[in-house]
């Protein structure tokens, strides 16, 4: 009797965990609204002007909400040992998962470049407003880099690839599941003019997850992509100066 009760509780936990993870992610996106005003007032009282206080508020709320959201998510997942057991067959070993993660980073670069070229051909101006805003935040709150490069990729892969794509893939097929998860991934970033770029990235990350059956793979690829973008953006002026020097030498 006790064994049956334990098994029932385990099944209930397994069914609820994806929902809990999704709700935590939604809370991460919405909860900063509750403390925007007091946080802004705090920085104003510290002597910052209005613009600086707004940037500091945004930066710190991104860092804190992402960090807390990731911690709570990992705690919830740790209670469900079968959370990642959704695939038939054996998962890729760690070396293979890492290898595909590195390859996946290159796939993302190529995929995003092709998507960007298509957008330009359609008359859409290049450049991401979301990325530019993040760069501004990092100048005031350097820890924002940690949130963007580490916290966000892990949390987003757990939500978009494991919960949304992984769950849909059990009842539909790869194309439907990848398409829906990629569209939601694009919508959450609130840059609908660059929908194709985000959709391409989401589809590639879904492919990596299904290929290796290991969430580690898309997480590695996603972390490397965000790290690469931040590295370029934070050193853009230096890169432009270097290219000008090279042109002058030629």
Q: Find the helix packing angle between 129-140 and 216-234, rounded to 10°.
A: 70
Q: Is 54 a catalytic residue?
A: no
Phi and psi based region of residue 92 (left: phi greater than 0; alpha: psi -120 to 50; beta: remaining): beta
- Cβ–Cβ < 8 Å for 144, 206: no
CA 4 vs CA 9, 11, 206: distances in Å: 9, 11, 35
Q: Is 222 a catalytic residue?
A: no
The C-alpha angle 41, 25, 33, rounded to 5 degrees, equals: 20
Write down the catalytic residue from 54, 119, 189, 191: 189
Q: How many CB atoms lie within 10 A of CB 232?
A: 11
Write down the catalytic residue from 119, 125, 139, 156: 156
Instruction: Tell me which residues are annotated as active site.
Output: 156, 189
């Amino acid at each position: 009797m006790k064994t049956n009760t334990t098994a029932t509780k385990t099944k209930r936990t397994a069914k609820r965990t994806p929902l809990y993870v999704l709700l935590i992610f939604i809370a991460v996106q919405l909860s900063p609204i509750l403390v925007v005003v007091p946080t802004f007032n705090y920085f104003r009282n510290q002597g910052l002007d209005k613009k600086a206080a707004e940037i500091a508020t945004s930066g710190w709320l991104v860092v804190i909400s992402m960090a807390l959201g990731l911690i709570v998510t990992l705690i919830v997942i740790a209670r469900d040992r079968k959370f990642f057991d959704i695939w038939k067959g054996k998962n890729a070993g760690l070396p293979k998962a890492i290898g595909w993660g590195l390859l996946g980073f290159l796939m993302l670069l190529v995929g995003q470049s092709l998507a960007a070229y298509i957008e330009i051909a359609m008359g859409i101006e290049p450049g991401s407003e979301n990325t530019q805003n993040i760069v501004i935040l990092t100048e005031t709150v350097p820890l924002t880099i940690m949130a963007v490069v580490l916290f966000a990729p892990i949390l987003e892969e757990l939500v978009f690839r494991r919960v949304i794509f992984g769950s849909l893939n059990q009842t539909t097929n790869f194309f439907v599941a990848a398409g829906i998860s990629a569209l939601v991934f694009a919508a959450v970033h609130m840059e609908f003019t660059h929908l194709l770029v985000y959709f391409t990235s989401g589809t590639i990350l879904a492919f990596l997850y299904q290929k290796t059956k290991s969430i580690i793979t898309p997480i590695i690829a996603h972390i490397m992509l965000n790290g690469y973008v931040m590295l370029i953006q934070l050193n853009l002026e230096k890169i432009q100066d270097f290219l000008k020097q090279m042109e002058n030498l030629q």
